[in-house]
């Protein structure tokens, strides 16, 4: 099977390489990486030991999904790749559908696990808003699979990689990039944190400072359920955990005042240890905790803060 | 100009129960996907700003006729529906081909708006696939749309950056759930919704190959196993001891 991996983010492309190698253990694979208008990335990928095709064509516009899909499509056809692995970050997920349509391929996005059974790639992903985990497989000859970020570790340095230029024709893009700006505020990577203190709507704003201090004391980061960022705006959106936020697997999650709807729990249920504190004894979050405490946060947080001191 | 918002009816996820790790969907009512409501609101705001005609488009079984009233109450002028009781559990590639075929039946379409993912499957493919079938440019993860005559300025929100883009209409956009806060329709709007025109399109009216093989199969779909310890902790002291025992103290 010829696999082509592509992500505009090198770190994610290296995760795809690990996934491709996992598949390669079970089915004979020829793994190829692709980089588009990015010499540094081509070198990073080749340094991880993979044959890397480098497209240099300024007509391919990274901000234009159709344009990128056209480039990846042509590369997949030239290399006769039957499986294209993409990252399921925002750009990758947008690309997946368009590329799959061009390839007449079945496609699965947000895939968080892969295994080969009877020479078929079985994928796991969340469905029904995260209430269930489906095992699915693609039946068409060509497949596009977009892997959720951090489902695999990034491939390390390895000898044997080469860079080869790939010539791909492209039409002018109709999309004009007027401006690209970094998101303001404290951009934090909660997915990388070992310990998370997660706050929900059961918290009072005055107590946020305590939660933050507890996170700091433990050497962790502060995260939140969606409404805390989007409705209350106490924290920035990059700290949201859940279906439409980040999916984190910290060693420890201390969850404060979150009821535990599945749209939230899907983002934290892979934590190693979960502590939940909630004043509602029927809150679902208490059922999915290793240590569950029914208590008033107003009373408990100052005590916990002091005890961790 | 017409603005089309494509929406999907999904089971009301709040009412889905799990029994023996299996989701129980019997008797669960349908509703519009959560982000689809944001897509509708985006369409309504653009309609108000530009005086366009707003069409809501959906495909599915006959229950869509009822579900779509939510979108008509939210401000769509009319509905285009591809209805057939065979249209359940459709895979993304099939939904996209139906939606694209229906869009082709509507004249003077400037914008086709999707939510970035459906409430149930959240696969996020349909908008991208439909854009490809229609041969239109697309922008996803959209947090802002401004019409400027025959062009549109769109802001795409990525994990760590935002890009402001400009493109000539027509275009397909997929909006994020935080693009807006959908307004709650008034009683008058809800009452009017039932009287707004609904154009029903038969499957046979669409130029489609319905026999295409399934591209994806679902082998199983189960709730995750809960293997948590579920220790009830009474005091802060006990909690701190537990954290100590697990080795989480003094890491910093």
Name every residue whose Cβ is closer than 8 Å to that of residue B207 and which is 6 or more positions away in sequence: B101
> For helices A65-79 and A90-103, what crossing angle results, to 10°?
50
Angle formed by the axes of helices A90-103 and B92-104, nearest 10°: 80
H-helix or E-strand containing A68?
helix A65-79
Mean pLDDT value of segment A67-74: 98
Q: Does B245 touch chain A (CB under 8 A)?
A: no
Q: Would an 8 Å CB–CB cutoff place B234 in contact with chain A?
A: yes
Please indicate whether, in this complex, the C-beta atoms of A95 and B128 are within 8 angstroms of each other. Answer: yes
Residues A156 and A200 in one domain: no
CB pairs under 8 A between A and B: 242
Report the percentage of chain A scoring pLDDT > 90: 87
A176 sits in which H/E element: strand A176-182
Does A237 sit within 8 Å of B124, measured CB to CB?
A: no
When pLDDT is averaged across residues A239-263 and rounded to a whole number, the result is 92
Residue A18: inside a domain: yes
What value does the mean pLDDT take over residues A161-177? Answer: 97
Distance (Å, rounded) from C-alpha A33 to C-alpha B193?
A: 52
A197 and A304 both lie in a single domain: yes
Q: Give, in degrees to the nearest 5, the angle at Cα A183 between A177 and A189.
A: 125
- Give a yes or no: residue A181 inside a domain: no
Chain A residues whose beta carbon lies within 8 Å of the beta carbon of residue B28: none
- Cβ neighbours of B234 (radius 10 Å): 10
The pair of structure tokens assigned to B180 is: 């807006």
Question: Is residue A275 situated within a structural domain?
Answer: yes
On the question of pLDDT at A184 being above 80, the answer is no
Assess whether pLDDT exceeds 90 at residue A268: yes
Q: Do B216 and A106 touch (CB under 8 A)?
A: yes
Structure tokens at A208: 């946020």
Question: Which member of B176, B226, B239 has the closest CB to residue A291?
Answer: B239
Could you tell me which chain A residue has the CA closest to the CA of B239? A291
Examine residue A174 and state whether it is found in any structural domain, yes or no.
Answer: no
pLDDT reading at A237 higher than 90? no
pLDDT digits (tens, 9 = 90+) for B182-220: 999 999 999 999 999 999 999 988 888 877 789 999 999
pLDDT band, residue B120 (cuts 50/70/90): confident
- From chain B, the residues in CB contact with A301 under 8 A are none
Separation in Å, CA of A177 to nearest CA in chain B: 5
Distance from CA of B104 to the nearest CA of A (A): 17
Across B114-118, average pLDDT: 94
For A64, which of B93, B137, B161 is closest by C-beta distance?
Answer: B137
Same domain flag for A92 and A216: no
Between chains, do B239 and A217 touch, taking CB under 8 Å as contact? no
Give the chain B residue nearest A110 (alpha carbons).
B123
Query: Domain check: are A87 and A122 in the same one?
Result: yes
Q: What is the mean pLDDT of chain B?
A: 94
Closest C-alpha to A197, from A209, A187, A206, A185: A209
Instruction: Find out whether B52 and B42 touch, Cβ atoms under 8 Å.
Output: no
Domain boundaries, chain B: 2-205
Identify whether the C-beta of residue A15 lies closer than 8 Å to the C-beta of residue A147.
yes
- Give the gap in angstroms from C-alpha B178 to the nearest C-alpha of chain A: 7
Judge: B23–A131 Cβ closer than 8 Å, yes or no. Answer: yes
Q: Which residues of A touch B251 (CB under 8 A)?
A: 194-195, 218-219
Instruction: Give the pLDDT mean for A249-254.
Output: 96
As a whole number of angstroms, the distance between CA A33 and CA A163 comes to 9
Least confident residue range of A248-262, B160-174, B192-206, B208-222: B208-222
- Judged by CB atoms closer than 8 Å, whether chains meet at B224 and A269 is answered as yes
CATH of the domain at A251: 3.40.50.1220
In a domain, A259, yes or no: yes
Q: Per DSSP, which regions of chain B are E strands?
A: 2-6, 9-11, 17-19, 22-24, 30-32, 53-60, 78-83, 109-115, 138-148, 151-157, 161-168, 171-175, 198-201, 216-222, 231-232
- pLDDT tens figures, B6-16: 999 999 988 88
Does the distance separating the beta carbons of B125 and A96 come in below 8 Å?
yes
Does the domain at residues B2-205 carry the CATH identifier 3.40.50.620? yes
Residues of A whose CB is below 8 A from B131: 65-66, 98
A94 and A157 belong to one structural domain: yes
In angstroms, what separates the C-alpha of B206 from chain A's closest C-alpha? 19
Question: With an 8 Å Cβ cutoff, are B23 and A132 in contact?
Answer: yes
Could you tell me if residue A182 is inside a domain?
no
Nearest CB to B226; choose among A136, A216, A288: A288
Q: Is the pLDDT of residue B5 over 90?
A: yes
Which residues 46-85 on chain B approach chain A with CB closer than 8 angstroms?
A: none
For residue A228, tell me if it sits in a domain.
yes
Interchain proximity A262–B13, CB inside 8 Å: yes
pLDDT for residue A167 is more than 90? yes
Do A90 and A15 fall within a single domain?
yes
> Above 80 in pLDDT, residue A143?
yes
The values of phi and psi at residue A150, to 5°, are 70, 15
Q: B residues 186-205 near A, CB within 8 Å?
A: none
Q: Does residue A175 form part of some domain?
A: no
**Which residues in A lie closer than 8 A to residue B178 (C-beta atoms)?**
230, 237
Residues of chain A contacting residue B157, judged by C-beta atoms under 8 Å apart: 90, 183
- Which B residues, 132 through 191, put their C-beta within 8 Å of a C-beta on chain A? 132-133, 137-141, 153, 156-168, 174, 176-178
**Contact criterion met (CB < 8 Å) for B167 and A174:** yes
Asked if residue A145 and residue A257 are part of one domain, the reply reads no
Q: What global pTM score does this model have?
A: 0.90
Residue of A nearest to B227 (CA): A288
Query: Using the beta-carbon criterion (under 8 Å), do A101 and B93 form an inter-chain contact?
Result: yes
Residues A36 and A160 in one domain: yes
pLDDT tier at A186, thresholds 50, 70, 90: low
A203 and A160 within one domain = no
**Between chains, do B93 and A102 touch, taking CB under 8 Å as contact?**
no
- Contacts with B92 from chain A: Cβ below 8 Å: 97, 107
Q: Which of A5-19, A207-221, B10-24 has the lowest mean pLDDT?
A: B10-24
Burial level of B181, CB count in 10 A (0-12/13-18/19+)? exposed
Based on the fold, state whether residues A118 and A253 are members of the same structural domain.
no
Residue A44 lies in domain: 2-166
Overall number of domains in chain A = 2
pLDDT tens column, B132-143: 999 999 999 999
Q: Which residues of A touch B156 (CB under 8 A)?
A: 63
What is the spatial distance between Cα B16 and Cα B31, in angstroms, rounded to a whole number? 12
Q: Report the pLDDT averaged over residues A18-28.
A: 89
Q: What is the pLDDT of residue B213?
A: 82
A112 has which bridge partners? Answer: none
Q: What is the CATH number of the domain that holds A80?
A: 3.40.50.620
Same domain? For A134 and A202 the reply is: no
A-chain CB neighbours of B176 within 8 Å are 244
pLDDT at A239 over 90: yes
Residue A183 has pLDDT above 90, yes or no: no
């Amino acid at each position: 099977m010829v696999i082509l991996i592509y992500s505009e983010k090198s770190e994610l492309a290296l995760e795809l390489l690990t996934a491709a190698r996992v598949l390669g253990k079970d089915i004979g694979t020829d793994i190829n990486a692709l980089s588009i208008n990015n010499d540094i990335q081509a070198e990073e990928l080749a340094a991880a030991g993979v044959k890397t095709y480098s497209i240099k064509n300024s007509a391919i516009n990274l901000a234009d999904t159709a344009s990128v899909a056209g480039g990846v499509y042509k590369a997949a056809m030239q290399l006769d790749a039957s499986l294209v692995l993409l990252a399921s970050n925002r750009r990758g997920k947008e690309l997946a559908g368009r590329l799959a349509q061009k390839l007449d391929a079945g496609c699965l996005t947000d895939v968080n696990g892969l295994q080969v059974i009877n020479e078929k790639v079985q994928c796991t992903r969340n469905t029904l808003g995260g209430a269930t985990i489906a095992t699915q497989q693609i039946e068409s000859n060509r497949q596009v699979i977009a892997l959720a970020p951090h489902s695999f570790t990034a491939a390390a340095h390895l000898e044997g990689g080469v860079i080869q230029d790939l010539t791909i024709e492209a039409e002018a893009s109709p999309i004009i990039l007027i401006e690209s700006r970094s998101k303001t505020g404290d951009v934090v990577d909660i997915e990388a944190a070992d310990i998370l203190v997660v706050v929900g709507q059961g918290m009072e704003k005055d107590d946020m400072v305590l939660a933050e201090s507890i996170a700091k004391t433990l050497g962790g980061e502060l995260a939140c359920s969606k409404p805390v960022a989007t409705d209350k705006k106490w924290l920035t959106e990059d700290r949201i955990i859940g279906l439409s936020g980040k999916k984190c697997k910290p060693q420890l999650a201390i969850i404060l005042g979150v009821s535990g709807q599945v749209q939230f729990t899907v983002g934290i249920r892979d934590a190693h240890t979960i502590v939940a504190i909630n004043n509602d004894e029927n809150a679902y979050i208490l059922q999915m905790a290793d240590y569950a405490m029914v208590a008033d946060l107003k009373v408990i947080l100052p005590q916990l803060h002091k005890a961790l001191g | 100009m017409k603005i089309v918002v494509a929406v999907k009816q999904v089971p009301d996820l709040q009412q889905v129960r799990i029994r023996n790790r299996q989701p129980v969907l019997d008797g669960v009512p349908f509703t519009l996907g959560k982000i689809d409501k944001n897509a509708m609101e985006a369409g309504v705001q653009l309609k108000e700003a530009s005086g366009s005609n707003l069409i809501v488009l959906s495909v599915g079984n006959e229950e869509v006729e009822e579900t779509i009233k939510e979108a008509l109450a939210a401000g769509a002028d009319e509905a285009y529906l591809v209805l057939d009781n065979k249209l359940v559990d459709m895979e993304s590639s099939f939904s996209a081909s139906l939606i694209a075929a229906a869009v082709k039946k509507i004249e003077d379409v400037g914008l086709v708006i999707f939510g970035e993912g459906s409430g149930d499957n959240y696969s996020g493919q349909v908008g991208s696939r439909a854009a490809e079938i229609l041969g239109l440019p697309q922008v996803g993860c959209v947090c802002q749309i401004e019409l400027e005559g025959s062009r549109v300025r769109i802001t795409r929100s990525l994990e760590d950056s935002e890009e402001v883009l400009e493109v000539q209409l027509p275009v397909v956009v997929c909006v994020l759930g935080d693009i807006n806060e959908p307004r709650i329709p008034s009683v008058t709007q809800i009452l009017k919704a039932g009287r707004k025109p609904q154009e029903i399109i038969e499957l046979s009216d669409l130029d489609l190959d319905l026999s295409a093989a399934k591209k994806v199969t679902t082998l199983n779909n189960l709730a995750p196993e809960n293997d948590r310890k579920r220790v009830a902790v009474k005091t802060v002291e006990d909690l701190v001891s537990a954290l100590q025992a697990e080795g989480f103290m003094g890491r910093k």
